[in-house]
Amino acid sequence: MLRSKKEKYIFIELTLILLAAVVWRVSLHQMQKKSEPVRICVIAVKDSEVKYGEIMAGIRDYARENQTEIRVWYQENLTVEGLTQMLSAKENQGIHGIFLLHPEDFFNGNENGTVTAELPVLRIGGADQKALSELAAISCGKTVQDDAAAVAEHLEPAEIQELLDGVRTSVEVVSEYQVGYTAVKTLAETSGKVRKNVIVDPLKLTAEDIRSGKYNSLLSE
């Protein structure tokens, strides 16, 4: 029992100091947690950087702008069990989310079983692989039921000429850059599983855009 006002004041001061120390430690922990980069893992087939260059450019631009760390893992001939184990291992390694970059290139989806994951996972492609049906997909300007292309990935010469001649005012084309950017953004901002498919708006180009040369990478080869 406190015997005097002085003892009461000392007790109150010590309590306030202890409380302030607890608040400071909690705040410091939260600040350190926020300062740590979000880690996203991209799984792709070996030597695919050039083939999927526009997607990777979008991924890296988002990472650079938003303190996100990108790790690329190259794989070949993964099985259902192998991919499931890999996704589980990545979660234990501090990976926040995983982007499967055209798993049809590195995953054998003809086996029985279903790939599952507790951390955020998105895929582009792999629509014909039933083992991936539980994983959310991202696509551009179309539903993701079967990845049937509703928007062209490149502009054909006839379309370009129609734009330049004024026959068309604009034409829509897949923006692989935006797909990569949006995929990583979605993963970085999601806690737990990605519950639904992600649709990215197609890029609408005009004759002025074509003349600028800015979108030459989208021209048909």
Domains present along the chain, CATH in parentheses: 38-147+176-200 (3.40.50.2300)
Q: Which helix (H) or strand (E) holds 98?
A: strand 97-101
More confident residue, 57 or 175: 57
What pLDDT was estimated at residue 60?
A: 95
Residue type (1 letter), 168? R
Question: For residues 72 and 44, is the Cβ–Cβ distance under 8 A?
Answer: yes
Q: How far apart are CA 139 and CA 149, in angstroms?
A: 9
Which tokens sit at 88? 């589980």
What pLDDT was estimated at residue 148?
A: 41
Residue range 73-125, pLDDT digits in tens: 999 999 999 999 888 887 678 899 999 999 999 998 777 888 988 899 999 99
Global pTM exceeds 0.85: no
Q: How far apart are CA 187 and CA 99, in angstroms?
A: 8
Contacts for 172 with CB less than 8 Å, ≥ 6 apart: 141, 151, 152, 202, 203, 204, 205
Q: How far apart are CA 221 and CA 216, in angstroms?
A: 10
Taking residues 4-16, report their average pLDDT: 69
Q: Is the dihedral of CA 159, 160, 165, 171 positive or negative?
A: positive
CA 28 to chain centre: 29
Q: Is the dihedral of CA 150, 151, 152, 156 positive or negative?
A: positive
Taking residues 2-8, report their average pLDDT: 61
Lowest mean pLDDT segment, chosen from 11-15, 40-44, 160-164, 200-204: 11-15
Residue 169 pLDDT class (50, 70, 90 cuts): confident
Contacts for 42 with CB less than 8 Å, ≥ 6 apart: 56, 59, 70, 71, 72, 73, 98, 99, 101
Backbone angles phi, psi at 138, to 5 degrees: -125, 140
What pLDDT was estimated at residue 167?
A: 87
Which tokens sit at 186? 């979605």
Lowest mean pLDDT segment, chosen from 10-19, 155-164, 166-175, 204-213: 10-19
Residue range 173-183, pLDDT digits in tens: 888 899 999 99
Q: How far apart are CA 74 and CA 207, in angstroms?
A: 39
More confident residue, 221 or 210: 210
Query: Number of helices and strands (H, E) in the chain?
Result: 6, 8
**DSSP structure class, residue 219:** B
- On the question of pLDDT at 48 being above 50, the answer is yes
Question: For residues 153 and 175, is the Cβ–Cβ distance under 8 A?
Answer: no
What pLDDT was estimated at residue 71?
A: 93
